[in-house]
Homo-oligomer: A and B are copies of this chain.
Amino acid sequence: MERKLRMGMVGGGADSFIGDVHRKASAIDGMIELVCGAFSSNPEKSIASGKALFLPTERCYGSFEEMILKEKERPEQDRMDFVAIVTPNHMHFPPAKMALENGFHVVCDKPISLTLDEAITLEKIIAKSGKLFALTHNYTGHPLVKQAKAMVAQGDLGNIRKIQVQYLQGWLATSVEKTGQKQASWRVDPKRSGIGGALGDIGTHAENLVEYITGLKIKELAADLGKFGDGRVLDDDGNMLLRMENGAKGTMSISQIALGEENNLAIKVYGDKGSLEWRQENPNQLITHKLNAPIKIFTTNGPDLYPEAVQVCRIPAGHPEGYLEAFATIYKNFATHLMAVLDGKNIKKPDYPTVKDGIRGMQFIYAAVDSDRHNAAWTKLD
Protein backbone atom coordinates (compact mmCIF):
# COMPACT_ATOMS: atom_id res chain seq x y z
CA MET A 1 0.00 0.00 0.00
CA GLU A 2 1.40 3.31 -1.00
CA ARG A 3 -0.96 5.50 0.93
CA LYS A 4 -2.71 5.72 4.27
CA LEU A 5 -6.23 4.41 4.65
CA ARG A 6 -8.95 7.03 4.50
CA MET A 7 -11.47 7.11 7.33
CA GLY A 8 -14.87 8.77 7.55
CA MET A 9 -16.44 9.20 10.94
CA VAL A 10 -20.06 8.99 12.03
CA GLY A 11 -20.58 10.87 15.29
CA GLY A 12 -17.74 12.19 17.37
CA GLY A 13 -18.61 15.89 17.46
CA ALA A 14 -17.34 18.45 19.89
CA ASP A 15 -18.81 16.97 23.12
CA SER A 16 -18.00 13.38 22.29
CA PHE A 17 -15.57 11.42 24.41
CA ILE A 18 -15.29 8.33 22.29
CA GLY A 19 -15.03 10.09 18.95
CA ASP A 20 -11.87 11.81 20.08
CA VAL A 21 -10.53 8.47 21.31
CA HIS A 22 -11.15 6.86 17.93
CA ARG A 23 -9.42 9.71 16.15
CA LYS A 24 -6.35 9.62 18.38
CA ALA A 25 -6.20 5.83 18.36
CA SER A 26 -6.46 5.63 14.59
CA ALA A 27 -3.74 8.28 14.17
CA ILE A 28 -1.01 6.82 16.39
CA ASP A 29 0.39 4.27 14.00
CA GLY A 30 0.35 6.49 10.92
CA MET A 31 -1.69 4.08 8.80
CA ILE A 32 -4.98 5.98 8.74
CA GLU A 33 -6.05 9.52 8.00
CA LEU A 34 -9.40 11.10 8.75
CA VAL A 35 -10.80 12.50 5.53
CA CYS A 36 -14.42 13.22 6.28
CA GLY A 37 -17.14 12.98 8.89
CA ALA A 38 -20.80 13.28 9.77
CA PHE A 39 -19.95 14.52 13.21
CA SER A 40 -23.39 15.76 14.09
CA SER A 41 -26.92 15.65 12.72
CA ASN A 42 -26.73 19.43 12.85
CA PRO A 43 -24.83 20.43 9.67
CA GLU A 44 -23.32 23.58 11.19
CA LYS A 45 -22.05 21.64 14.18
CA SER A 46 -20.67 18.98 11.90
CA ILE A 47 -18.81 21.58 9.89
CA ALA A 48 -17.49 23.27 13.03
CA SER A 49 -16.23 19.95 14.37
CA GLY A 50 -14.64 19.09 11.06
CA LYS A 51 -12.89 22.42 10.72
CA ALA A 52 -11.35 22.00 14.14
CA LEU A 53 -9.98 18.76 12.75
CA PHE A 54 -8.57 20.56 9.69
CA LEU A 55 -11.06 18.96 7.30
CA PRO A 56 -12.38 20.77 4.25
CA THR A 57 -15.94 22.03 4.67
CA GLU A 58 -17.25 20.00 1.80
CA ARG A 59 -16.38 16.76 3.54
CA CYS A 60 -18.13 17.66 6.80
CA TYR A 61 -21.57 16.14 6.29
CA GLY A 62 -24.88 16.71 8.05
CA SER A 63 -25.86 13.03 8.17
CA PHE A 64 -24.29 9.63 7.73
CA GLU A 65 -26.55 9.04 4.75
CA GLU A 66 -25.18 12.13 3.06
CA MET A 67 -21.64 11.13 3.86
CA ILE A 68 -21.99 7.64 2.49
CA LEU A 69 -23.68 8.74 -0.71
CA LYS A 70 -21.41 11.69 -1.40
CA GLU A 71 -18.24 9.80 -0.64
CA LYS A 72 -19.37 6.99 -2.89
CA GLU A 73 -19.56 9.51 -5.71
CA ARG A 74 -16.02 10.71 -5.20
CA PRO A 75 -13.23 9.29 -7.34
CA GLU A 76 -11.72 6.12 -5.97
CA GLN A 77 -8.30 7.64 -5.35
CA ASP A 78 -9.85 10.11 -2.99
CA ARG A 79 -12.94 8.54 -1.45
CA MET A 80 -12.98 7.22 2.11
CA ASP A 81 -12.14 3.54 2.55
CA PHE A 82 -14.04 2.82 5.72
CA VAL A 83 -16.45 4.31 8.20
CA ALA A 84 -15.84 4.60 11.94
CA ILE A 85 -19.11 4.65 13.89
CA VAL A 86 -18.82 6.33 17.29
CA THR A 87 -22.42 7.30 18.01
CA PRO A 88 -24.69 6.20 20.88
CA ASN A 89 -25.84 2.59 20.64
CA HIS A 90 -29.10 3.17 18.77
CA MET A 91 -27.15 4.76 15.96
CA HIS A 92 -24.73 1.89 15.36
CA PHE A 93 -26.82 -0.35 13.17
CA PRO A 94 -28.23 2.12 10.62
CA PRO A 95 -24.94 3.62 9.46
CA ALA A 96 -23.19 0.25 9.64
CA LYS A 97 -25.81 -1.31 7.42
CA MET A 98 -25.80 1.52 4.91
CA ALA A 99 -22.03 1.76 4.76
CA LEU A 100 -21.60 -1.95 4.15
CA GLU A 101 -24.31 -1.98 1.53
CA ASN A 102 -22.61 0.86 -0.26
CA GLY A 103 -19.23 -0.78 -0.34
CA PHE A 104 -17.49 0.68 2.68
CA HIS A 105 -15.72 -1.26 5.39
CA VAL A 106 -16.74 -0.49 8.98
CA VAL A 107 -15.22 0.01 12.41
CA CYS A 108 -17.93 0.22 15.06
CA ASP A 109 -17.97 1.05 18.72
CA LYS A 110 -19.49 -1.39 21.20
CA PRO A 111 -22.06 -2.62 22.01
CA ILE A 112 -22.64 -3.50 18.42
CA SER A 113 -26.28 -2.48 18.26
CA LEU A 114 -29.43 -1.55 20.14
CA THR A 115 -30.95 -5.02 19.94
CA LEU A 116 -29.82 -8.60 19.54
CA ASP A 117 -31.86 -8.84 16.35
CA GLU A 118 -29.91 -5.99 14.81
CA ALA A 119 -26.67 -7.75 15.64
CA ILE A 120 -27.79 -10.96 14.00
CA THR A 121 -29.01 -9.07 10.95
CA LEU A 122 -25.74 -7.22 10.75
CA GLU A 123 -23.80 -10.45 10.66
CA LYS A 124 -25.69 -11.38 7.51
CA ILE A 125 -25.21 -7.97 5.93
CA ILE A 126 -21.48 -8.18 6.54
CA ALA A 127 -21.28 -11.63 5.06
CA LYS A 128 -23.18 -10.51 2.00
CA SER A 129 -21.14 -7.34 1.57
CA GLY A 130 -17.77 -9.04 1.72
CA LYS A 131 -16.48 -6.03 3.63
CA LEU A 132 -14.46 -5.96 6.83
CA PHE A 133 -16.05 -5.14 10.15
CA ALA A 134 -14.21 -4.43 13.40
CA LEU A 135 -15.77 -3.89 16.82
CA THR A 136 -13.69 -1.81 19.21
CA HIS A 137 -13.42 -4.01 22.25
CA ASN A 138 -10.29 -2.03 22.90
CA TYR A 139 -9.11 -3.77 26.06
CA THR A 140 -8.19 -6.83 24.03
CA GLY A 141 -5.55 -4.64 22.39
CA HIS A 142 -3.30 -4.52 25.46
CA PRO A 143 -0.08 -6.50 25.02
CA LEU A 144 -0.54 -8.22 28.37
CA VAL A 145 -4.11 -9.18 27.61
CA LYS A 146 -2.72 -10.87 24.52
CA GLN A 147 -0.08 -12.47 26.74
CA ALA A 148 -2.82 -13.70 29.07
CA LYS A 149 -4.76 -15.20 26.19
CA ALA A 150 -1.62 -16.86 24.85
CA MET A 151 -0.76 -18.30 28.26
CA VAL A 152 -4.17 -19.90 28.57
CA ALA A 153 -4.00 -21.16 25.00
CA GLN A 154 -0.54 -22.65 25.58
CA GLY A 155 -1.82 -24.51 28.63
CA ASP A 156 0.24 -22.56 31.13
CA LEU A 157 -2.72 -22.36 33.45
CA GLY A 158 -3.94 -25.89 32.86
CA ASN A 159 -7.66 -26.47 33.08
CA ILE A 160 -9.49 -23.25 34.00
CA ARG A 161 -11.50 -23.53 37.20
CA LYS A 162 -12.32 -20.09 38.45
CA ILE A 163 -12.77 -16.58 37.05
CA GLN A 164 -13.26 -13.24 38.74
CA VAL A 165 -13.99 -10.24 36.58
CA GLN A 166 -15.06 -6.78 37.55
CA TYR A 167 -15.63 -3.51 35.77
CA LEU A 168 -16.26 -0.76 38.30
CA GLN A 169 -16.85 2.91 37.72
CA GLY A 170 -18.34 5.55 39.95
CA TRP A 171 -19.26 8.35 37.59
CA LEU A 172 -23.00 7.63 37.85
CA ALA A 173 -22.95 7.50 41.66
CA THR A 174 -24.98 10.68 41.64
CA SER A 175 -27.66 11.73 39.16
CA VAL A 176 -25.29 13.38 36.71
CA GLU A 177 -27.72 12.66 33.90
CA LYS A 178 -29.92 15.40 35.38
CA THR A 179 -27.14 17.96 35.12
CA GLY A 180 -27.07 17.87 31.34
CA GLN A 181 -23.94 15.71 31.17
CA LYS A 182 -24.21 14.38 27.64
CA GLN A 183 -22.35 11.10 28.21
CA ALA A 184 -24.67 10.25 31.09
CA SER A 185 -27.95 11.30 29.53
CA TRP A 186 -27.95 8.85 26.65
CA ARG A 187 -26.51 6.01 28.67
CA VAL A 188 -29.45 5.96 31.09
CA ASP A 189 -31.97 6.21 28.25
CA PRO A 190 -33.23 2.85 26.91
CA LYS A 191 -34.15 4.42 23.58
CA ARG A 192 -30.52 5.19 22.91
CA SER A 193 -28.76 2.56 25.04
CA GLY A 194 -30.98 -0.47 24.61
CA ILE A 195 -32.11 -2.78 27.41
CA GLY A 196 -28.76 -2.66 29.19
CA GLY A 197 -27.30 0.33 31.00
CA ALA A 198 -24.01 -0.51 32.68
CA LEU A 199 -24.44 -3.91 31.05
CA GLY A 200 -24.03 -2.45 27.59
CA ASP A 201 -21.51 0.21 28.39
CA ILE A 202 -19.06 -1.79 30.47
CA GLY A 203 -20.54 -5.24 31.08
CA THR A 204 -19.93 -6.19 27.48
CA HIS A 205 -16.25 -5.31 27.89
CA ALA A 206 -16.04 -7.58 30.93
CA GLU A 207 -17.82 -10.39 29.13
CA ASN A 208 -15.61 -9.96 26.07
CA LEU A 209 -12.45 -9.96 28.15
CA VAL A 210 -13.42 -13.20 29.92
CA GLU A 211 -14.13 -15.03 26.69
CA TYR A 212 -11.14 -13.52 24.89
CA ILE A 213 -8.59 -14.47 27.50
CA THR A 214 -9.94 -17.88 28.47
CA GLY A 215 -11.08 -18.96 25.01
CA LEU A 216 -14.14 -20.31 26.84
CA LYS A 217 -17.75 -19.34 26.36
CA ILE A 218 -19.93 -18.24 29.27
CA LYS A 219 -22.58 -20.95 29.27
CA GLU A 220 -25.01 -19.41 31.72
CA LEU A 221 -25.23 -16.66 34.27
CA ALA A 222 -27.30 -15.56 37.23
CA ALA A 223 -27.59 -11.79 37.42
CA ASP A 224 -28.76 -9.48 40.18
CA LEU A 225 -28.93 -6.00 38.70
CA GLY A 226 -29.24 -2.73 40.60
CA LYS A 227 -30.83 0.57 39.65
CA PHE A 228 -29.50 2.74 42.43
CA GLY A 229 -29.64 6.11 40.75
CA ASP A 230 -32.80 8.08 41.43
CA GLY A 231 -35.37 7.32 38.77
CA ARG A 232 -33.17 5.13 36.62
CA VAL A 233 -34.87 2.55 34.47
CA LEU A 234 -31.68 0.84 33.29
CA ASP A 235 -29.20 -1.05 35.43
CA ASP A 236 -26.33 0.99 36.85
CA ASP A 237 -24.90 -1.95 38.81
CA GLY A 238 -24.80 -5.69 38.53
CA ASN A 239 -23.55 -8.80 40.30
CA MET A 240 -23.42 -12.12 38.52
CA LEU A 241 -22.49 -15.74 38.91
CA LEU A 242 -20.92 -17.29 35.85
CA ARG A 243 -20.67 -20.86 34.63
CA MET A 244 -18.32 -21.49 31.75
CA GLU A 245 -18.73 -24.15 29.09
CA ASN A 246 -15.92 -26.25 30.60
CA GLY A 247 -17.31 -26.30 34.14
CA ALA A 248 -15.34 -23.34 35.47
CA LYS A 249 -17.25 -20.99 37.75
CA GLY A 250 -16.92 -17.32 38.45
CA THR A 251 -18.28 -13.96 39.42
CA MET A 252 -18.74 -10.75 37.51
CA SER A 253 -19.31 -7.45 39.22
CA ILE A 254 -20.02 -4.33 37.22
CA SER A 255 -21.03 -0.91 38.39
CA GLN A 256 -21.24 2.71 37.45
CA ILE A 257 -22.27 3.72 40.97
CA ALA A 258 -19.16 2.32 42.69
CA LEU A 259 -18.20 5.72 44.02
CA GLY A 260 -14.50 6.43 43.80
CA GLU A 261 -13.78 3.88 41.12
CA GLU A 262 -12.48 5.36 37.89
CA ASN A 263 -12.22 2.60 35.31
CA ASN A 264 -11.46 -0.47 37.32
CA LEU A 265 -11.65 -3.32 34.88
CA ALA A 266 -9.82 -6.32 36.28
CA ILE A 267 -9.74 -10.05 35.74
CA LYS A 268 -8.33 -13.06 37.52
CA VAL A 269 -8.22 -16.51 36.00
CA TYR A 270 -7.31 -19.62 37.99
CA GLY A 271 -6.43 -22.95 36.46
CA ASP A 272 -5.14 -26.15 37.94
CA LYS A 273 -1.57 -25.34 36.85
CA GLY A 274 -1.38 -21.60 37.12
CA SER A 275 -3.26 -18.35 37.45
CA LEU A 276 -3.10 -14.78 36.25
CA GLU A 277 -4.35 -11.33 37.13
CA TRP A 278 -4.60 -8.22 34.98
CA ARG A 279 -5.83 -4.74 35.87
CA GLN A 280 -6.68 -2.14 33.27
CA GLU A 281 -5.63 0.77 35.45
CA ASN A 282 -2.07 -0.54 35.58
CA PRO A 283 -2.07 -2.43 32.29
CA ASN A 284 1.66 -2.90 31.96
CA GLN A 285 1.90 -5.65 34.54
CA LEU A 286 0.53 -9.18 34.35
CA ILE A 287 0.74 -10.99 37.67
CA THR A 288 1.03 -14.74 37.32
CA HIS A 289 1.41 -17.79 39.50
CA LYS A 290 2.52 -21.32 39.00
CA LEU A 291 2.07 -24.09 41.55
CA ASN A 292 4.60 -23.73 44.35
CA ALA A 293 6.54 -20.95 42.71
CA PRO A 294 7.07 -17.30 43.56
CA ILE A 295 4.94 -14.63 41.93
CA LYS A 296 6.06 -13.87 38.38
CA ILE A 297 5.18 -10.54 36.83
CA PHE A 298 5.36 -9.93 33.11
CA THR A 299 5.66 -6.40 31.82
CA THR A 300 4.73 -4.79 28.53
CA ASN A 301 7.57 -5.47 26.09
CA GLY A 302 9.50 -7.10 28.94
CA PRO A 303 11.20 -10.50 29.00
CA ASP A 304 9.68 -13.85 28.07
CA LEU A 305 6.45 -12.75 26.43
CA TYR A 306 4.72 -14.83 23.81
CA PRO A 307 4.94 -13.50 20.23
CA GLU A 308 1.25 -12.53 20.30
CA ALA A 309 2.10 -10.00 22.99
CA VAL A 310 5.44 -8.82 21.62
CA GLN A 311 3.87 -8.08 18.24
CA VAL A 312 1.62 -5.39 19.62
CA CYS A 313 4.15 -3.62 21.85
CA ARG A 314 5.24 -0.23 20.55
CA ILE A 315 7.92 1.06 22.91
CA PRO A 316 10.56 -0.44 25.18
CA ALA A 317 9.63 -1.98 28.52
CA GLY A 318 9.17 0.51 31.29
CA HIS A 319 7.68 3.13 28.99
CA PRO A 320 4.02 2.72 29.89
CA GLU A 321 1.51 2.11 27.15
CA GLY A 322 -2.02 3.12 27.97
CA TYR A 323 -5.61 3.17 26.93
CA LEU A 324 -5.04 4.86 23.58
CA GLU A 325 -2.30 2.47 22.52
CA ALA A 326 -4.49 -0.57 23.20
CA PHE A 327 -7.31 1.07 21.30
CA ALA A 328 -4.88 1.85 18.50
CA THR A 329 -4.01 -1.83 18.21
CA ILE A 330 -7.57 -2.60 17.17
CA TYR A 331 -7.23 0.01 14.44
CA LYS A 332 -3.76 -1.13 13.49
CA ASN A 333 -4.77 -4.75 13.05
CA PHE A 334 -7.90 -3.75 11.18
CA ALA A 335 -5.84 -1.44 8.97
CA THR A 336 -3.28 -4.13 8.31
CA HIS A 337 -6.10 -6.41 7.21
CA LEU A 338 -7.77 -3.79 5.08
CA MET A 339 -4.54 -2.77 3.37
CA ALA A 340 -3.93 -6.40 2.46
CA VAL A 341 -7.44 -6.68 1.07
CA LEU A 342 -7.04 -3.49 -0.95
CA ASP A 343 -3.70 -4.73 -2.20
CA GLY A 344 -5.33 -7.99 -3.18
CA LYS A 345 -3.19 -9.94 -0.76
CA ASN A 346 -4.43 -12.91 1.16
CA ILE A 347 -3.32 -12.77 4.79
CA LYS A 348 -4.37 -14.47 7.98
CA LYS A 349 -6.90 -12.22 9.64
CA PRO A 350 -5.09 -10.14 12.26
CA ASP A 351 -6.50 -10.33 15.77
CA TYR A 352 -9.33 -7.81 16.19
CA PRO A 353 -12.92 -8.20 17.40
CA THR A 354 -15.66 -8.76 14.88
CA VAL A 355 -19.40 -9.09 14.59
CA LYS A 356 -19.22 -12.40 16.44
CA ASP A 357 -17.96 -10.56 19.52
CA GLY A 358 -20.81 -8.14 19.01
CA ILE A 359 -23.41 -10.87 18.99
CA ARG A 360 -21.92 -12.43 22.13
CA GLY A 361 -22.14 -9.06 23.81
CA MET A 362 -25.81 -8.68 22.95
CA GLN A 363 -26.54 -12.25 24.09
CA PHE A 364 -24.83 -11.39 27.34
CA ILE A 365 -26.95 -8.26 27.84
CA TYR A 366 -30.12 -10.13 27.05
CA ALA A 367 -29.29 -13.04 29.31
CA ALA A 368 -28.40 -10.77 32.21
CA VAL A 369 -31.56 -8.70 31.92
CA ASP A 370 -33.65 -11.83 31.57
CA SER A 371 -31.98 -13.49 34.56
CA ASP A 372 -32.49 -10.40 36.66
CA ARG A 373 -36.19 -10.31 35.78
CA HIS A 374 -36.42 -13.85 37.14
CA ASN A 375 -34.73 -13.08 40.42
CA ALA A 376 -31.27 -14.08 39.21
CA ALA A 377 -32.33 -17.43 37.75
CA TRP A 378 -29.67 -19.20 35.73
CA THR A 379 -29.98 -18.11 32.12
CA LYS A 380 -28.16 -19.36 29.05
CA LEU A 381 -26.36 -17.02 26.69
CA ASP A 382 -27.71 -18.24 23.37
Which residues in A have some Cβ–Cβ distance to B below 8 Å? 1-4, 17, 20-21, 23-24, 27-31, 34, 51, 53-54, 161-162, 164, 166, 169-171, 173-174, 222, 224, 226, 228, 237, 239-243, 249-251, 253, 255, 257-264, 268, 270-275, 280-284, 288-299, 302-304, 314-325, 375-376, 378
Contacts and interface: CB of A to CB of B under 8 A. Distances in A.
11 contacts: A1-B54, A21-B315, A173-B272, A222-B376, A239-B250, A239-B251, A241-B241, A251-B253, A260-B289, A280-B318, A324-B324
Contacts of A375: 378
Contacts of A224: 222, 241, 243, 249
B257 A162 contact: yes
Closest 8 CB pairs of A and B: A260-B289, A262-B318, A263-B318, A322-B322, A319-B323, A320-B322, A295-B297, A262-B317
Tell me the number of copies of this protein: 4
A30 B21 contact: no
Given A250-B239, A270-B258, A297-B294, A320 B318 contact: no
A314 B260 CA distance: 20
A264 B27 CA distance: 28
B289 A298 contact: no
A171 B301 CA distance: 13
Contacts of A4: 54
A299 B262 contact: yes
Contacts of A173: 272, 291
Contacts of A241: 222, 224, 239-241, 376
A317 B161 CA distance: 22
Contact of A24 (B28, B169, B243): B28
A53 B4 CA distance: 9
Contacts of A321: 322-324
B30 A320 contact: no
A30 B53 contact: yes
Contact of A170 (B226, B250, B289): B289
Given A174-B291, A297-B297, A378-B375, A257 B161 contact: yes
Contact of A51 (B2, B162, B281, B296): B2
A233 to B, nearest CB: 17
B24 A260 contact: no
Contact of A273 (B259, B274, B289, B378): B259
A298 B293 CA distance: 9
B30 A34 contact: yes
A191 B243 CA distance: 30
Given A239-B250, A260-B274, A314-B24, A284 B281 contact: yes
- Chain B CB within 10 A, most for which of A222, A273, A274: A222
Nearest to A299: B262
